[in-house]
Structure 1
Amino acid sequence: MLSMSDTPIERFAPVFARLNTPVAFLVPTPTGYKKSIMDAIAPVRELLYDAHVHDYQLQPQGTENKHVVPAFLVKADGLVETQASLYRPTTKHGDPRIWFYDLKKHCRPCNLLALTVIDEAIYVFNLSDLDVAESLLKRDYAYSILQTGDKSSVIEQQLLSLIRKINEAGPQRSITPGDPGVGDTLEHALGIQRNNSKNPDYMGIELKATRLSRNGKIRTPTRSTLFSQVPDAGLSYREIVEKYGKMQVPRGSSEARLQLYETFRVSRPNAYGLVLDVNENADRLDMEYQDGDKRSYVASWTMKLLKERLRTKHPETFWVGATSEMVDGVEYFRYVRVMHTKNPNASLLGPLIETDKVTLDLAAHFDADGKWRDHGVLFKMDKKDFPLLFSDPEEFVF
């Protein structure tokens, strides 16, 4: 759906992320615009359900069961009062529909519409309207519609103070060899016992530590892992590697193994012929195999599950960066930077996957003896794109 839009969402996602405003996007197709109908895709249905505005699942088919709710078209300097028509036709299995009265006076086909709910009324922002876009981005009238308050956390300041003291104490000897050392050493210095729980690490705050340099050399920035989640339908993680993996010789070895170490995105298939697809009507993320012009289903995740994993994992997170150096064969870390994020806007996860801002990594193989090894199914994002998802990221450098 977003591929039809005449306006990219990247300009506007930081606004909704900053204010932690649930949002759903719609793009009127030329046919739908002409007929005055739009599909109420899964993100729209979820937005209306969560805001206690409407539940399409309980709505009988037929125009006689149409539900009309208050709505406003947001302009650069005011509101246009209107109504939204929510219904399920008797044809096409009763697929949910939505339309806003007088919408044609304020938009064109393929415009990008952002929907949010305030006090059980639907507010529509035409992000393709240059005046509305400017009002929103420059924090003028359209922005004021969304604006909410915020307050600082005592726990945030406490944890920040502790990490600053660890920095001042100098390099910390790694307690674990290899990549896990950077995170394990920080948690050890904070007095946190290592565990495999999916819950946040420090009094509700998740800790994610990475190396910024190794032996004085700046490392190439890597995408940060938001969360790990295996598919909940279709082939299992192991079955995907068995069917689509390749026999390859890993670096530093002379023996081939069956493996799949690759990034997955929506825009194009990877070297294994695998590609992602955001299925909005089914509210699902699909993995597909592309062979020429044909695609076949491989596995999938429900978007509800992925959004819940994001909310659970990152209600508030400290992304800690460390410099690294080797002394007599032992690695030492100095924690020098913290990026603080909170309130991920889970309603933006689907659009960000669809536009390749959130990608997926599989990293697994079978040893020569057949033993299965994997590093998780990792949903990742560049830190530079965090403002698209999180409310007001703050960075602290020691």
Structure 2
Amino acid sequence: MKTYTKETLIEALVNIRDRGWIETQRKNNDGGVGNTLEDLLGIEENNLPIPNAAEWELKAQKKDTTSLITLFHMEPSPRAYKFVPLILLPEFGWAHQAAGQRYEKSEKSFRQTINAANYSNRGFIIKVDRNERKILVDFDCRHIESDAHSEWIKLVSQKILSPKPYWGFDDLYHKAGTKLHNCFFVLAESKIINGLLHFHYQDIYMLKKFDLEKFIDAIDKGRIYVDFDARTGHNHGTKFRLKRDALISLYEEVKKI
């Protein structure tokens, strides 16, 4: 793996930008833009090897996508409960769309993205408890869209989510503060050339000093989402995600290269 200083990394990113259209190294998906950039830089995953400096993260996104950016994976507490596979999925899950086809007939799904601004159509919401210093998941069957989930609502209408899964502020601070303290964020145009997906890496941002208070405020305002993605056979992990403008706003120092 190559080793960079901040200066040589900026130089490498500018050189990639100046190359113009570059054929994707991966499949035609939103993640391909980041994977291709990592390949071009000669690094693994998105942790940048910059010795003698605070940790840096590398993130990239296509300009024309509306996909959310994943900040990190983190399962809710108390961890011993294994909330997603042992409570949310069996007690509040619904029939997987491929149940009886790709999977067993009994296969359930608990896959949804929720925030603190509005209840999801299945009655879930994020709540910020500043007194207890927790981010909680709450459920209220009165907010279920009954027309869309007429069968499922019969199964959960009498259920109460207790105890509530949560993330403590301190745990979130540790996770976000160590993983996202500094970040290089690159935006790319994309287009098909001769039947193959190509990227042109254009906008390069250097983001410094992740602000933990801004992070909690963004959760409270519904700008950060919690994404559950589990089925009976596998929990793909619980993610904290957000839109690109929200990412940039979480840092004290923003510099466009």
TM-score of Structure 1 vs Structure 2, range by shorter chain: 0.7 to 0.9
* Match of residue 189 from structure 1: 40
How far apart, in 2, do the equivalents of 1:377 and 1:389 lie?
21
Q: Are 1:362 and 2:213 an aligned pair?
A: no
Q: Percent identity?
A: 20
Aligned to 2:146: none
1:282-301 equivalence runs, <5 A: 282-292=132-142, 296-297=161-162, 298-301=164-167
Q: From the superposition, tell whether residues 242 and 275 of structure 1 become closer, same or farther in structure 2 (CA, over 3 Å).
A: same
Residue 209 (structure 1) aligned with residue 60 (structure 2):
yes
How far apart, CA to CA, are the structure 2 residues paired with 1:211 and 1:323?
6
Equivalent residue for 2:109? 259
Query: How far apart are 1:316 and its partner, in Å?
Result: 0.9
Q: Pick from 107, 122, 128: which aligns with 1:278? A: 128
State whether structure 2 residue 26 is matched by structure 1 residue 162.
Answer: no
Contact (CA 8 Å) 2:122, 2:141: kept in 1 or not?
no
Contact 1:225 1:380 in 2 (8 A): yes
Match of 1:245 in 2: 93
Q: Which runs of 5+ in 2 are unaligned?
A: 144-158
Contact 2:173 2:212 in 1 (8 A): yes
Once the two structures are TM-superposed, the CA of residue 327 in structure 1 deviates from its matched residue by: 4.0
Residue in 1 that maps onto 2:75 = 230
The answer as to whether partners of 1:235 and 1:299 remain within 8 angstroms in 2 is no
Q: Is the contact between residue 288 and residue 295 of structure 1 (CA under 8 Å) also seen in structure 2?
A: no
1:329 deviates by 4.6
Aligned to 1:325: 191
Give 1:175 shift: 2.4
CA deviation after TM superposition for structure 1 residue 254, in Å: 9.1
Structure showing greater Rg: 1
Match of 1:10 in 2: none
Which protein has greater RCO, CA pairs closer than 8 Å, 6+ apart? 2
CA distance in 1, matches of 2:176, 2:32: 24
Indicate the RMSD between aligned Cα atoms, in angstroms.
2.9
CA shift in 2, pair 1:258/1:282, >3 Å: same
Give 3-state SS (helix, strand or coil) of 2:222's partner: coil
**Superposed CA offset, 1:296-349 (max 9, x none):** 333111111111111111111011112223345533222111222111111333
Question: For 1:302-313, what aligned pairs fall within 5 Å after superposition?
Answer: 302-313=168-179
The answer on whether the counterparts of 1:266 and 1:353 sit within 8 Å (CA) in structure 2 is yes
AA in 1 matched with 2:121: A
What does the per-residue CA deviation read over 1:26-61, in whole Å, with 9 as the maximum and x for residues that have no partner? xxxxxxxxxxxxxxxxxxxxxxxxxxxxxxxxxxxx
Amino acid at match of 1:296: L
Task: Quote the Cα distance in structure 1 between the aligned partners of 2:215 and 2:77.
Answer: 17
Equivalent-residue separation in structure 1 for 2:221 and 2:28 (angstroms): 33
> C-alpha displacement at 1:205, in angstroms?
1.9
